[in-house]
Amino acid sequence: MRFDFVKCHGSGNDFPLIDARAIELDDAAWAGVARALADRRGPVGGDGLLLLTDGDKLHDFGMRMFNADGSEAETCLNGLRCVARAGFDALGIDRAEVRLKTSSAHAERDADLAPGVVSVRETAGPADLDVTHWPLIEAETGAGHEIVQRPIAMLPSRRSFTAVAMPNPHLVSFVETVDEAELVAVGEACEAAPEWLPNRANVSFVEQRGADLFVRTFERGVGLTDSCGSAMAASVFAACLTGRAEFGVELSVFNRGGLVRAQAESDGMVRLSGNATYDWTGSAEVDADRGIAGDVKVDRHFNDEIAAWAAVVDGIS
């Protein structure tokens, strides 16, 4: 089956995005499409697959996000900005209520983050601190429903973590310097879906840099990624919760892919403003059963957008 898509990214978190409003496929087929198009060894590659889906009485349109391994995430805030841009363009609107897998989000066009950088502001939440919803089961300690700034005995690290669902689950640890080997070890322990964490979780190490944050994430279903929007939202909320930042105050959150502006509120809502950049549009043949993509045709490169975002990254590196 041939699919048209746009290759896009939010803060370096890159995806093929398909307008799926008129496409009828079951979840297993979409999982196969995601494995094919997001495969870094294949002709397209990405951190996952984004779908623009139909709206309903409460939502202007919907979004689905499949990780590179074919699993479906509750949300992806970097991807949401890209889907919102596609939805805005398709419907001729500038703001929308967007249906996610287990929640909703608000998105609206924002002033450009930098010259030529198309930007979207999104509001997601509320953050959920009850880990029994994940579930995360601390049988060894008999601890309560919340994990805020304390070690988790089952992890291969004695660092303190804060657990935040945004709405996908995140474990956040504030560190002096990111140790990627340690981050991978903790991430792989969660990725193994042990009995105490059957649905896995995302793991982030966060450096505080003055008033701002730098976030490095091992993403569930992906691995180490240059950026994860919900991880940045969870990290900002965790920073406020632990007194490292103030609720209601906007700060910059940096990552390997670039940056966003973020603000957490005491009611658990988090606002992110960042890019929704188009790199190119094209199409590809996909064998969903085998998870293989081929015969890619590129229709257009968005050279001005690519250059505008490159200037942002060069300015912070």
Q: Which CATH superfamily is domain 2-122+275-316 in?
A: Diaminopimelate Epimerase; Chain A, domain 1 (3.10.310.10)
Tell me how far apart the alpha carbons of residues 275 and 34 are, in angstroms, rounded to a whole number.
23
- Interatomic CA distance for residues 64 and 200, integer angstroms: 19
- Quick one: average pLDDT of 76-92? 97
User: Do the beta carbons of residue 16 and residue 265 sit within 8 Å?
Assistant: no
Query: 2-122+275-316 with 131-274: one CATH topology?
Result: yes
Single out the catalytic residue among 76, 82, 190, 240. Answer: 76
pLDDT for 222 beyond 80: yes
Q: What is the domain partition of the chain in residue ranges?
A: 2-122+275-316, 131-274
71/69 Cα distance (integer angstroms): 6
Determine whether 8 is an active site residue: no
First to last CA, the chain: 41
Tens digits of per-residue pLDDT, 15-26? 999 999 999 999
**Is 228 annotated as catalytic?**
yes
Tell me what the pLDDT averaged over the chain comes to.
95
Catalytic residue among 8, 82, 228, 240: 228
pLDDT in tens, 235-291: 999 999 999 999 999 999 999 989 999 999 999 999 999 999 999 999 999 999 999
Pick the CATH number of 131-274 from 3.10.310.10, 1.10.3720.10, 3.90.76.10, 3.30.300.30: 3.10.310.10
pTM of the model: 0.90
Q: Quote the tokens at residue 85.
A: 């841009």
Q: What is the pLDDT confidence band of residue 143, given thresholds at 50, 70 and 90?
A: low
> 313's torsion region: left (phi>0), alpha (psi -120 to 50) or beta?
alpha
What is the per-residue pLDDT for 264?
97
User: How far is Cα 125 from Cα 237, in angstroms, rounded to an integer?
Assistant: 10
Determine contact, residues 274/259, Cβ cutoff 8 Å: yes
Mean pLDDT score, 124-146:
83
pLDDT-derived band at 160, boundaries 50, 70, 90? very high
Whether pLDDT at 141 is above 80: no
Supply 29's token pair.
Answer: 């087929």
